[in-house]
Amino acid sequence: MNREHHTWYSQRLGRDMELLVFGHAGPPVVVFPTSMGRFFDYEDRGMIEAVASQYEEGNRQAICVDSVDAESWYNKSVHPRERVLRHIVYEDYLIEEVAPFLRSRYDSHRFAVTGCSFGGYHAVNFALRHPSLVNYCVSMGGAFDIHQFLDGHYDENCYFQCPPDYLPNLADESYLDRYRRGLRMVLATGEDDICLGENVRLSGILFDKNIPHELDVWGDGTGHDWPWWQRMAVKFFG
């Protein structure tokens, strides 16, 4: 399997950023790490191996990006206003640096996104905010409400990074049309997943907005951990 490590200095973030690429051809999927996770966690946790044939045969490429969660949402040493602003800069890095990198490898301006746990938040929020870039989104055990990171603070920037808040009020038909016509969205979770309620809640909001999606609740005691997410990866990317 082709495996590449890339690093470059991001002027936007003011630091080196790293990512891993798996596969040599096929449509790319951007993989977000879990809470404060790293770009290598997806591989280390067996998620690449679970669908290795897809990368070996050139059917898909995985681009495992790094996070700045420890500098944004989880950074208790700064005011919550600064936390969300750091996340917004990270979003700019994805749009202005990672997306062009993807286009250099695959002749398309659209790509898939996925993530487990808090990586599911990143995937869903990015897909909803940028449906012109994303055509497929798979959240596995995601949690989507960012109020817990704000210590009671709330402003416009926070609102527009919290899908359960901005989505019910969204009336822009250009966005809604992109969701309905060009975005496949999957919310995968388990009957014993601590984030089951968040997925049911977001699914209800999507249903009320007539936005097609799949709420996939797994039985058999499926919870919130890598062995279950490996099985989900086989279903949605295998």
Over range 213-235, report the average pLDDT.
Answer: 98
Q: In the chain, helix, strand, coil percent, each to 5?
A: 45, 20, 35
- Inter-residue contact 237 to 54 (CB < 8 Å): yes
Residue 151, pLDDT > 90, answer yes
Rounded Cα–Cα distance for residues 129 and 95 (Å) = 11
Q: E strand or H helix at 65, and its extent?
A: strand 61-65
Distance of CA 145 to the CA centre of its chain: 14
Mean pLDDT computed over 58-86: 98
- Whole-model pTM over 0.95: yes
State the residue for tokens 């206003």: 81
Q: Give the largest CA-CA distance in the chain.
A: 49
Q: 3-237 has which CATH code? A: 3.40.50.1820
The 10s digit of each residue's pLDDT in 1-33 is 999 999 999 999 999 999 999 999 999 999 999
Contact 9, 41 (CB under 8 A): no
Cβ-based neighbour number of residue 179 at 10 Å: 21
Residue 28 Cα distances to 77, 172, 225, angstroms: 35, 28, 24
Alpha helices (H) along the chain? 41-44, 47-50, 52-56, 80-93, 99-105, 118-129, 156-159, 163-169, 173-182, 196-208, 226-237
For residue 147, what pLDDT is reported? Answer: 97
> Alpha-carbon distance 17 to 148, whole Å?
26
Per the listing, tokens 């994303």 go with 134
C-alpha distances out from residue 182 to 3, 11, 130, 188, Å: 30, 32, 12, 19
Domain boundaries along the sequence of the chain: 3-237
**Per-residue pLDDT reduced to its tens digit, 81-116:** 999 999 999 999 999 999 999 999 998 899 999 999
